Amino acid sequence: MDTVKSAKQLLAERFETKTAAGLVDVKFFLRGAGEATTDEVYEDLNNLYEAFERGDYVEIKHASPSAA
Amino acid sequence: MADIIADMYSIDIRLFEVTASGRTVAGNVERYKDNRAVIMVRSQQTEDMLRFVSVKELCHIMLDEEDDWSSDAIATIREMKVEFDLAKTNGDGVLNPSRTQMSEYLALVAAVALMYPCEFHAADKAKVESGEKSIAKIALEHGMPGWAIELAFNHEHIFNRYNGI
């Protein structure tokens, strides 16, 4: 039995977890997606999230509403 | 811009540049029910793209209504993969765009309008057509990608509606 998850399954599971944690909306900025397969987009998104989870990021801005 | 949006919409916004491989994803924005948003921008992009992606994702926070929200990433990607151009004047754009498609288009247009105000468009377009100025030079002046300048020129009937507002 093949237990290797597809990029789509991985992404779907990732977003099930996020939704349970309070996610209400997600939007993507895709470039060249017209020429790419959906699987390639799923893989690139999984790569993005995995990099973020590894800490491969720099926080550029944190904006909070000022106290009224 | 992020500070103003955070204040106006009472939302906590964190913006990250993420070092990740992949050519199809420029960035994303997530919104949570506890009034916070997380924006990720893939770092391996040109400076003008990093800036444009950040602005476009911030525009989603301003423009998207609750009816536009969805946390179903798979469905959202599937809809975005459909070739669409809502502003095509020759009639072959999407006739009944989904809310996801509308949201993407509006955020894109808003980002262009913010970074390249409408009052520049007509004069710059005339200069490009006469060979006096290049798209690349205009893009450099406004710190945004050349394709976004071309988008402004090619969709002038949309931007003209907002010129002077």
Tokens coding B9: 């919409």
pTM of the model: 0.87
* Residue B123 identity (one-letter amino acid): A
Tell me the nearest-neighbour CA distance from B20 into chain A, angstroms: 5
Distance, in Å, from the CA atom of B88 to the CA atom of A34, rounded to the nearest integer, reads: 17
DSSP string over B120-142: GHHHHHHHHHHTSS-HHHHHHHH
pLDDT digits (tens, 9 = 90+) for B94-118: 667 778 778 888 898 899 999 998 8
Q: Would you put residue A5 in left (φ > 0), alpha (ψ -120 to 50) or beta?
A: beta
Q: Indicate if the pLDDT at residue B125 is higher than 70.
A: yes
Tell me the nearest-neighbour CA distance from B130 into chain A, angstroms: 30
What are A28's strand-pairing partners? Answer: B28
pLDDT digits (tens, 9 = 90+) for A6-65: 999 999 999 999 999 999 999 999 887 667 788 888 999 999 999 999 999 999 999 999
Nearest to B14 by CA among B28, B25, B22, B26: B28
B-facing residues of A in 24-63 (CB < 8 A) are 24-34, 36, 38, 40-45, 47-48, 50-52, 56-63
B107 has a chain A CB within 8 A of its CB: yes
Interface predicted TM-score of the whole assembly (ipTM), two decimals: 0.90
**Nearest residue of chain A to residue B74 (CA atoms):** A12
Which chain B residues contact residue A55 at CB under 8 A?
Answer: none
